A and B are shown apart, each in its own frame.
Chain A
Amino acid sequence: MAKSLKILIWPSISAVGALALGTLALNRGEQINALWLVLAAFCTYALGYRFYSKFVATKLLALDAQRATPAERLDNGRDFVPTNKWVVFGHHFAAIAGPGPLVGPVLAVQFGYLPGTLWILVGAIFGGCVQDFVILLFSVRRDGKSLTEMAREEVGRLGGLVAYLAILSIIVILLGVAALIVVNALKSSPWGVFTIAMTIPIALLMGVYIRRLRPGKVLESSLLGFILVMLAIFGGQVISQHATPAAWFSWTAPTLALVIIAYGFAASALPVWLLLAPRDYLSTFVKLGTIGLLALGIVALRPTLHMPAFTRFVDGSGPVFAGKIFPFAFITIACGAVSGFHSLISSGTTPKMIRREPETRMVGYGAMVAESMVAIMATIAACVLQPGTYFAINSPAGVVGQAAETAAATISSWGFPVTAGAMHALAQAVGEQTLYNRTGGAPAFAVGMAHIFSHTLGGQALMAIWYHFAIMFEALFILTVLDAGTRVGRFMIQDALGHLWAPLGRTSRYPSILFTSALIVGAWGWFLWQGVKDPLGGINSLWPLFGISNQLLATVALCVATTIVIKMGKARFAPVTLLPLAWLVAVTFRASWHKMFDPNPRIGFLAHARQLASGVVSSQEVSRLIFNDRLDAAVTGLLMFMVALILLESALLWARIMSGRKSAGIREAPFVRTRFAAEERA
């Protein structure tokens, strides 16, 4: 390429990005095309990757191409395997991309498209990508150690304990809220329940195929499974059109919740490999395929965004969840901007596969950019809906009313016109009885996705198929997150209880397995049950809790990263991790405070408990709701206390190191020269 052309590329990308962002930000009163959003995101990510990640790589981390990675030094062909960077990138992306970047942005759209979009872009470039990148590199330099181990060794014992508790709390709350999303998507939906139920025999068939017929041919069996799932979706349509079988699969929310709790327990306690592993493969296959399809669909359709840049709910009175943009938009969107959970992946499998140290930039920073793009696509999917439709789907009955006409009138009175007739027609078009009160984000995303897909492939006739494809895709991979998370949580509890009484820690001892499985399932099952019974839909209480716990984990990760940066003698570059840390601390503290003490009963747990206690109706149900509120407030307080603890311990350590009162010994693995560099030169 000519040198002059090369010089022009980055200024051109900057100019186009600025134009796209300006169009998004300054546009008022007119609907704009989704491609502006795609363009703004693409240019921002390109600039962030090219310049900021390079700055972090060279100035802060000083990536060393001559240093052997643990994958090379400890290569055992099992977990430590030097692997091509594109393969690690794909593997890492598949591990970090879950339901979070799809659900959070959809919920945050209640503020309009702009707040969420800006947070996704800025949060990812300066926060999430940096966190994933630095934790990956620091883990690579420590033989692939986990975040908890790094926190204990680099920050202190308290840091290790907080990291452990943060991981456990995020797993429990995540699983509770993820299960609630599935319940809200599948309740009273025979088509959806049938399709998901059919994945059980399909997975068993895949298990037999992989194990007996064609050992190890997972891709083949996943393709076969995918074809069968598509047939199951068509089968679900037939089921839903006949009264008797439709009644068999039409389950209420409490029934679904109990079934999911039983499923989680079985997945943790029973040797059900034949079901779980193939379903995991199937879920990954569908997930990656659907994300790719959605990207193509958006580019092909170039849909119009009907949601305005800002809605009236920036004042905190939103029906989807209560609270103002600051801090609630920033905890609602975690995955896609900054997600603490990623630090577990960045210090888990991935560092053991990195072949050359400089490749951590592409894998750590780059894969998070890709996930952030998924969050942008989710925003687009929600914004292509008419705002009235979006709010009708996402508003709980406790806010807009139970009857269709009442709900439509309430939503229309907010300035987002919708009619009961239009909602009924939409429900018919997607093959559901109703779309009201489908809180959780998944159904709204599914309707948006079905809209995009049906306009690019198959027309309105396939709207219902695409909707149920989207629901199946979300429910399937949420259920795999659920069973994997339950097992991980069970191991964590066993590890801890093993210190109290050794037999409890034995992962092959059946009474211990049953006991600890019951503990972890009981913990997330409690949150799920609370959400199902919550008249405000559950998401209003649980999603902020999930966001706070996720950002707490990001706080732990960034404290560890900042500590290591200071110990490396690079304190002048510490703002790279310190600024996102400061932002997350501000967000987490503010959100926690509101969730506990805000006088508005829709926001503050304690205010809600007081409101219930002062009501005229007093029953066992009300007492239970009051107890739930108080417990949620206590959990929030505990999360906030843990943020304060890790922050205090880290800050004291930084002060001691920078004042010279403590030596800055870091625990990196010794330098060994890589043989790959010499091989490449040869």
Chain B
Amino acid sequence: MSEERVGADVLIWPAELSSVSKRARPRRAIQIILAIAREIFEESAYGRYLSRANMPSSPESYAAFRREYELMKARRPKCC
């Protein structure tokens, strides 16, 4: 078992789905899909920002996160 940071969370995840019991696999798969969605939709980035800035979630924190994040994101192209 390896410890991996998935976005803002520190989860104990198996490195591969195959290393978990068959019964636990659907739950792990859903966890992974949710983690992917949270990363794509920048919820994880917001979580990391809150951890780094040691702030609770609030409209002000989110506004500060967006200000920082937009500068970084504005130079990222979107593929065709």
Which residues from chain A sit less than 8 Å from chain B, CB to CB? 77-79, 81-84, 86-91, 94-100, 167, 170-171, 174, 178, 210-212, 215-219, 222, 273, 277, 281, 284-285, 288, 334-335, 339, 341-342, 344-345, 348-349, 355, 480-481, 484-485, 487-488, 491, 546, 550, 676, 679-680
Q: Is the interface of B mostly helix, strand, loop or mixed?
A: helix
B24 within 8 A of A: no
Q: Could you tell me the distance between the alpha carbons of A17 and B69 in the complex, rounded to whole angstroms?
A: 45
Which residues of chain A come closer than 8 Å to B43, judged between CB atoms?
A: 216-219
Closest chain B residue, CB of each to CB of A495: B75
Q: Which of B37, B45, B79 has the most CB of A within 10 A?
A: B79
A217–B62 alpha-carbon span in the complex (Å)? 10
| Residues of B close to A348: CB separation below 8 A | 76-77
Which of A88, A178, A277, A680 interacts with B80 by CB under 8 Å? A178
Interfacial chain B residues near A484, Cβ < 8 Å? 76-78
14 CB contacts below 8 A, A to B, read A77-B49, A77-B52, A81-B5, A83-B5, A86-B36, A100-B79, A174-B80, A211-B62, A212-B59, A215-B46, A281-B41, A355-B4, A484-B78, A488-B76
What's the minimum C-beta distance from B6 to chain A, rounded to whole angstroms?
5
Chain A contact residues: helix, strand, loop or mixed: helix
Q: Which chain A residue shows the least CB distance to B46? A: A216
**CB under 8 Å from chain A, chain B span 4-55:** 4-7, 13, 15, 32-33, 35-49, 51-52
Point out the residues of chain A lying under 8 angstroms from B4, CB to CB. Answer: 82-84, 355
Residues of A within 8 A of B62 (CB): 210-211, 215-216
Contact of A680 among B2, B45, B66 (CB under 8 A): B2
Give Cα A676–Cα B51 distance, bound, in whole angstroms: 21
B48 close to A90 (CB less than 8 A): no
- Residues of B close to A91: CB separation below 8 A: 36, 39-40
Q: B36 to chain A: which residues have CB within 8 Å?
A: 86-87, 89-91
Query: Chain B nearest CB: distance from A485 CB in Å?
Result: 6
Q: Nearest 7 pairs between A and B by C-beta?
A: A90-B36, A215-B62, A218-B41, A100-B80, A216-B46, A484-B78, A680-B2
Q: How large is the interface on B (under 10, 10 to 19, 20 to 34, 35 or more residues)?
A: 35 or more
> Which of A78, A211, A222, A485 interacts with B77 by CB under 8 Å?
A485
Say how far A82's CB is from chain B's closest CB, in angstroms: 6
Chain A residues, Cβ within 8 Å of B3: 679
Q: Which of B5, B59, B72 contacts A82 (CB 8 A)?
A: B5
Q: Do A215 and B79 touch across chains, with their CB atoms under 8 A apart?
A: no
Beyond A95-B78, A99-B80, list 8 extra A-B contacts (CB 8 Å): A86-B35, A90-B39, A211-B63, A215-B46, A216-B62, A488-B76, A680-B2, A680-B15
CB distance from A675 to the nearest CB of B (A): 11
Nearest CB of A to B33, in Å: 8
Q: Which residues of B contact A335 (CB under 8 A)?
A: 79-80
* Assembly CA distance A339 to B79 (angstroms): 9
Known: A91-B39, A99-B80. A488 touches B75 (CB 8 A): yes
Contact of B72 with A481 in the complex, beta carbons under 8 Å:
no
Please give me the residue from chain B that is nearest to A487 by CB atom: B74
CB distance from A619 to the nearest CB of B (A): 35
The residue in chain A whose Cβ has the minimal distance to the Cβ of B40 is A94
